[in-house]
Copies of this chain bind each other. A is one copy, B any other.
Amino acid sequence: MDARQILKDHITKSVELTDAQFDGFYACFKHESFKKGQMLIREGDAVTREYFVLSGCLKTYFLNDELRMTILQFAMPTWWASDYDALYNRHPAAVIVDCVANAEVLSISTDDRERICHEIEAIGHFFRWRTNRGYAASQRRLLSLMTNDTRKRYEDLLEQYPTLFQLVPKHLIASYLGVSRETLSRLYHSSR
């Protein structure tokens, strides 16, 4: 399945567009390929684009003063990624986005996004819908982090994204869950 079709399937889940409207939308995107380990966003970068994943997997992470990694999110196919704080508030990137595996992405700039939203209201609706869902997901994750113990959060992640455990090394999953790799190892083996 090609890039255009993947995006079309994704967007038509929530809005109806004519072919001409979709063509106009698709024309805003740049198609890019990255190798495992390559960075799409470096700390300190001006962030003007967000990325829709076609294949592979990205991770968005923060490095603290001791260079300890904390993963904010993964992005599998049909997920979006950027440093959203930097993107929306127009300041330099504080997090890093790179490839856990070779990836192909479509990227769009904020200016193009706002222009096309202005021209085609259904695209505006799509982006409100998508950001609303992202916000709700983020709130659920916050809640889970504050109310569930380590084992529960691990089990919930395993149940909700089993493929993540195949795509991604466990020490990265530990970092996403906010636990040490030793703790994740212990949870993993006591649940089998």
Contact = CB atoms under 8 A, between A and B. Distances in A.
A16 to B, nearest CB: 13
A137 to B, nearest CB: 8
A147 B70 contact: yes
Interface string A65-76: 000101010000
Q: How large is the interface on A (under 10, 10 to 19, 20 to 34, 35 or more residues)?
A: 35 or more
A117 interface: yes
A140 interface: yes
A140 B89 CA distance: 12
A114 B72 CA distance: 30
A62 B146 CA distance: 10
5 contacts: A70-B147, A121-B124, A128-B131, A145-B178, A146-B178
